């Protein structure tokens, strides 16, 4: 496929550009959720509740995981094999932690009496966070692939592997930032 890109116009790799466009599109979906949230809230009949502590921890986890993966990427570019592998693995672990924390967060919220089936404000919370987790799982699948490559292939800094790693980490930063946005949104507008 290399040859098709020799005439690429921008400095940015076409696959990365594809990712950016896809990110815009995914963001639109969450924009729709949050706008629907605002519209519905304005109509009243809205249950207010406070978040279980899990969600604060999960937020911290995913933010840290983003930094870790960034370090892994820079280590790869610098040819530092060990750092690259360590941080990649750590990032994956933190990512999985995030999902687990979300899950326990949901359970805790349910314990508090906020039910998916009950007031729409709760339904929104579960649905939005669930769809977000689906996107995180996509990122985890990509990270698994990256880890597999990192450990099964002989270490070498090549352009095509750098692009792939770049794609994975960029997507991960996106689901991270998306979560931070959703979290702050849900926090201030509940």
Partner 1 sequence: MANVTTIHEDDVLINEHGYNDHFHDHHHGDKYQTNFLTHYVFSMDHKMISKQFLITGMFWALIGAAFSVIFRLQLGFPEQSLAWIKPLLGKWIVIDPTTGVGTLMPEFYYALVTMHGTVIVFFVLTAGLSGTFSNLLIPLQVGARDMASPFMNMLSYWFFFAAGIVMFYSLFVSTGPFAGGWTAYPPLSALPQASSGSGTGMSLWLISLILFVISVVLGGTNYITTVLNLRTKGMTMWRLPLTVWAFFITAIVGLVSFPVLASGFFMLITDRSLGTSFFLSDIFISGQALDRVGGSPILYQHIFWFLGHPEVYIIILPAMGLVSEVMSVHARKPIFGYKAMVYSLGTIAFLSCIVWAHHMFASGINPLISNFFMTFTMIIAVPSSVKVFNWLTTLYRGNIRLNAPMLFALGFVTMFISGGLTGIFMASTPIDIQIHDTYFIIAHFHLVMGVAAFFGMFAGIYHWFPKMYGRFMNEAMGKMHFWGTMICAYGIFWPMHYLGMAGVPRRYYSFDAFESFKHFSEMNKFITIFAIAAFFFQLLFIINFFYSIWHGKKVKSKNPWGANTLEWTTPIHAGHGNWPGNLPIVHRWPYDYNKDEREFVPQHIPLQPGERSDGEH
Binding site for partner 1 (CB under 8 A): 1-10, 12, 14-15, 17-18, 21-22, 24-26, 28-33, 36, 39-40, 43, 45, 116-117, 119-120, 123-124, 127, 131
Residue among 22 and 78 whose Cβ is closer to partner 1: 22
Residue among 79 and 112 whose Cβ is closer to partner 1: 112
Q: What is the C-alpha separation between 177 and 146, in angstroms, rounded?
A: 21
CB of 72 to partner 1, least distance (A): 25
Neighbours of 118 (CB within 10 A): 11
Query: Between vectors from CA 48 to CA 51 and to CA 134, what angle results, nearest 5°?
Result: 50
CB of 90 to partner 1, least distance (A): 30
CB of 135 to partner 1, least distance (A): 12
Residue among 127 and 180 whose Cβ is closer to partner 1: 127
Residue among 7 and 152 whose Cβ is closer to partner 1: 7
Helix 120-152 to helix 81-111 angle (10° resolution) is 160
Of 110, 106, 100, 165, which is closest to residue 136 (Cα–Cα)?
100
Which phi-psi region, left, alpha or beta, contains residue 115 (left: φ > 0; alpha: ψ -120 to 50)? beta
């Amino acid at each position: 496929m290399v040859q098709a890109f020799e005439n690429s116009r921008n400095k940015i790799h076409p696959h990365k550009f594809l990712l950016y466009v896809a990110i815009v599109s995914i963001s639109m979906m969450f924009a729709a959720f949050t706008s629907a949230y605002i519209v519905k809230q304005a109509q009243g009949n809205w249950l207010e509740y406070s978040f279980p502590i899990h969600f604060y921890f999960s937020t911290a986890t995913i933010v840290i995981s983003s930094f870790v993966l960034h370090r892994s990427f820079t280590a790869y570019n610098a040819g530092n094999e060990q750092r690259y592998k360590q941080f990649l693995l750590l990032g994956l672990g933190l990512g999985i932690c995030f999902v687990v924390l979300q899950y326990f967060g949901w359970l805790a919220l349910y314990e508090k009496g906020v039910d998916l089936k009950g007031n729409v404000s709760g339904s929104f919370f579960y649905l939005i966070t669930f769809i977000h987790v689906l996107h995180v799982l996509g990122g985890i699948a990509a990270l698994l692939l990256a880890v597999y490559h990192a450990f099964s292939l002989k270490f070498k800094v090549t352009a095509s592997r750098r692009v792939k790693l770049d794609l994975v980490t960029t997507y991960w930063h996106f689901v991270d930032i998306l979560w931070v946005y959703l979290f702050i949104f849900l926090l201030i507008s509940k």
